[in-house]
A and B are shown apart, each in its own frame.
Chain A
């Protein structure tokens, strides 16, 4: 074997990206948010000022599309997956909640009930199924189980995320599972040490590593939802039925970039006041064109029984090859 062949075989696994529908959606939205492509020029691609000239417009794109879109698009993707510093011992008055079925309660009462429900569910397993689509075409599916759903500072958190490769959605066997175990940091956006195991089912490989992980991000945490509710940043938009369950529809509007409108909608169960579904739409209107990205998160909650806790623990099938992941 010559040196080049040896070099080819030594290619590190770290060069291969992991399927990440949220990043794909963010990258595409960020690019499209700058407007129409420029008219074709004859300049060769090797000219370095391409990058520099484009970077000059990047701050506004980054601030507007990044802070706005990324925050909201991902707000409930992992949404109800982690973090809340508030763990009040408030219990839900289910009797009153049931009595309220069939009518939309006032905003103040709804705020109190949802906050209480969120805290009550803090020790359960949160399950989120996320579907992303661009211009009406589904391009990403992910499922996530997190226990506990709203951990306290220092508490061990387990998350198992199953991501279907957006490029091969028609192949049900092409997916990856990642189990991440970490201790809940005191603040959001804090790097934490995590144990990570990833299984690539199509490739029949698995990796294990201890790594610094960016941790639960503020915009991706249930605390974001909690903050929105606590701050009253929502509008009660009536009743709706979600998968046969009565729910209350809440709407959040957040302008992002000129030409880009973000609409966040949250449905909470009319009986338990727990979030059932969120839909985040980013719609861009541009000369002659329309961008339409949608993220749908369907949520449910599981009691932490032994059988359910097994869903948060990754299982490596026999015969899979362990590989390095530097």
Chain B
């Protein structure tokens, strides 16, 4: 493969997957550092282009996960993610009131979960990964993923129920 072909493959990779890598970065690290994360992910993808599989998304999200986990930017990530989670809790949809309430209840409950639970749930629900791909991103078997997902769903349902208790309902706080 000649270099123009490599560049073509890389730009195609970028164009195809940028939106989903960005979405994952926002959900895991917040918008404040998402752009930087995405830049690093594709920098690594270029350097490791020979290792990127045809089905590239899980590979890219693993890289994004590792970039986000980098201790160098841990403090920035905490701050960025906290701001992101606050924005989810405060966001509204100009729609039927019940739908707004329901959506907000789910988002509030989600922000009250642990990072791990949130990632488990959103990989499938928001980022469109198959359970098998999600398991690959998390570095576990599909069976393990299903068990963890089941538990995370239960915790989400509990958090939603706890948050739907009317005026005196539980106040969720964004996990840093």
Q: What 1/0 flags go to B112-155 for Cβ under 8 Å of A?
A: 00000000011011100000000000010000000000000100
Within the complex, the shortest CB–CB distance from A316 to chain B, in Å, comes to 13
Query: How far is it, in angstroms, between the C-alpha of A14 and the C-alpha of B107 when the chains are bound?
Result: 13
Q: Contact partner of B51 among A7, A43, A55, A167, CB < 8 A?
A: A43
Q: What's the nearest-Cβ distance from chain A to residue B161, in Å? A: 10
**Chain A residues closer than 8 Å to B31, beta-carbon distance:** 14
Q: Sort chain A's interface into a size bin.
A: 35 or more
Assess the B15–A23 pair: CB atoms within 8 A: no
Q: Is B43 an interface residue (CB 8 A)?
A: yes
When distances are taken between beta carbons in the complex, the residues of chain A under 8 Å from B66 are 46, 48, 50-52
- The count of residues in chain B whose C-beta lies closer than 8 Å to any C-beta of chain A is 61
Contact digits for B97-111, partner A, Cβ 8 Å, 1 yes 0 no = 000001100110010
Q: Is there a chain A Cβ closer than 8 Å to B173's Cβ? A: no
**Hey, which chain B residues are within 8 Å of A289, CB to CB?**
2-4, 6-7
Whether the Cβ atoms of A4 and B121 lie closer than 8 Å is: yes
Contact of A3 among B23, B47, B67, B156 (CB under 8 A): B156
**The residue from B11, B26, B157 contacting A14, defined by CB atoms under 8 A apart:** B26
Chain B: interface secondary structure? helix
Q: Within the complex, what minimum Cβ distance (angstroms) separates B154 from chain A?
A: 9
CB distance from A278 to the nearest CB of B (A): 24
Q: Are A166 and B139 in contact (CB under 8 A)?
A: no
Q: Is B45 an interface residue (CB 8 A)?
A: yes
In the complex, the answer to whether A14 meets B87 with C-beta atoms within 8 Å is yes
Contact of B106 among A7, A15, A28, A54 (CB under 8 A): A7
Contacts of A13 in B (CB 8 A): 91
Q: Is the CB of A324 within 8 A of B11?
A: no
With a cutoff of 8 Å between Cβ atoms, the chain A residues found around residue B153 in the complex are 3-4
Please tell me if A24 contacts chain B, counting CB pairs below 8 Å.
Answer: yes
Nearest chain A CB to B105 CB, angstrom units = 8
